[in-house]
Amino acid sequence: MEGIMKTLSFVNSSLVQANPQERIAMSAKLEDSIYCAKYERRRQISNGASSSVFCVKLRGKKGEQLFAAKYLKSNSSSSRREVEILRKLQRGQNILRLLDTFYCEFHIILVTEYLAGGNLFERLSNSEYKLTEAKCQIFVRQILRGLEFMHSLGVVHLDIKPFNILFANKNDDFGLKISDFGSAQELGEEKEVKFNKIKGSVEFISPELIHCEPVGTQTDMWSVGVVAYMLVSGGVSPFYSAASVSPSSHLSCLCVVRKTRIHEMVAKKKAKSLIQQLLVRNSADRLTARQALDHPWMDSDRVYVDVLFELETTWMRKCLARRRWYRALNALRAMHTMRKFSLPDSPSEEEEDEESTDVAPQAARIAVVEEKLEEPRQFEEYRLKYESVCLIGSGTFGSVYYIR
């Protein structure tokens, strides 16, 4: 620690004498040194196109208190916007808590609270979890309270979905937090903003985002309607098409929102009414977060005996399994591509087809899988059609096998 303090003292004195560009570079290196001296990585939580999240702990501390460190690109304006928006929202009870920020040479590192309860989809897809309509009310109410606070400060999230809704504890349905503000925007005096390309996840975004029309706080309310629909229906998406991975074609031609077909066991008029008032094509006609909280389905904490039946969550488990399945398939595709580049003398596809008739394991090369394997609607068909040969690799979100 004494050596670190001497180094920091030397760097600080050098910063005074440096020119502006050198000062920025030295400050970034200093921030990197401070972060590495303060935290140590434990494991990776997730990885995306523009960010990675790691589980970290204080270096040298005996306690096991964990934090989450999100690595953003340092040269990106969207990264700095995410930091500023998250700082602005820190007084919100249902907003992810930001603890520290480091502007390093290659990354902007956000140190936040570690939410060990997992996301909403993971919780509901657990076969041991008993989902009731009363619990659906608890979840939606917390999401609405977070959005009400956010919208009161002129901020829109634009990517509300089950994977961005996290829980502090695995055994508690309260303590819900909204996370991932990479798509969030601050609204100006006009109370709206316009984009030239689609933002967020297509299955959950509103028609105005699909059509690149001006968006405002009502855009988040559409996403709440989709999440609420999926909750009370046990995971059925109102706009996901079984014939296509992407529902963009379904949403882009949507003129009038179809009537919600909620599970027969959840034939409660109040729940249907709320969802139908959120999934409205005209954004001006949608409920605000405050109006939704005042809706009869939300404004009472009273629990009725007739709503305490268990909802079917088979669809929810299939959605999560499908997501993991596609990640594994994408990993196989990437490995196949890298193998082609690393082996310049590899045989052509025609030679591979000839060899595949003699050697069964080689018949399961990813090129064959990509051509013949359709969307995994029924995993039983997959298990009947293929058998595993050996394990190639495994990670946080799935495992990759050679099959035949």
* Residue 161 host element (H or E): none
Identify the active-site residue in 32, 159, 299, 358: 159
Task: Give me the long-range contacts of 298-306 (CB less than 8 A, separation at least 24).
Answer: 298/137, 298/140, 298/141, 298/144, 298/274, 303/134
Helix then strand then coil, in percent of the chain rounded to 5, is 45, 15, 40
- The type of residue at 245 is V
* Residue pair 30/11 in contact by the 8 Å Cβ criterion: yes
Report residue 235: phi and psi, to 5°: 115, 0
Which residues are paired to 55 by β-bridges? 43, 68
Q: What is the DSSP string of 77-109?
A: HHHHHHHHHHHHTTT-TTBPPEEEEEE-SSEEE
- The type of residue at 32 is D
* Residue pair 71/54 in contact by the 8 Å Cβ criterion: yes
Catalytic, 294? Answer no
CA nearest neighbour of 302 among 138, 130, 120, 139 = 138
Tokens 């706080």 appear where? 217
Taking the C-alpha atoms of residue 233 and residue 311, their distance in angstroms, rounded to an integer, is 7
Tokens 């140190």 appear where? 111
From residue 344, alpha-carbon distances to 70, 341, 347 in Å are 38, 6, 9
Taking the C-alpha atoms of residue 177 and residue 93, their distance in angstroms, rounded to an integer, is 8
Q: In this structure, what token pair is assigned to residue 21?
A: 């560009």
From residue 386, alpha-carbon distances to 139, 325, 372 in Å are 39, 15, 12
Interaxial angle between packed helices 269-278 and 217-232, expressed in degrees from 0 to 180 and rounded to the nearest 10? 150
Q: In this structure, what token pair is assigned to residue 170?
A: 């695995």
Query: Is 303 in a helix, a strand, or coil?
Result: coil
* Residue pair 47/123 in contact by the 8 Å Cβ criterion: no
Residues recognised as catalytic: 159
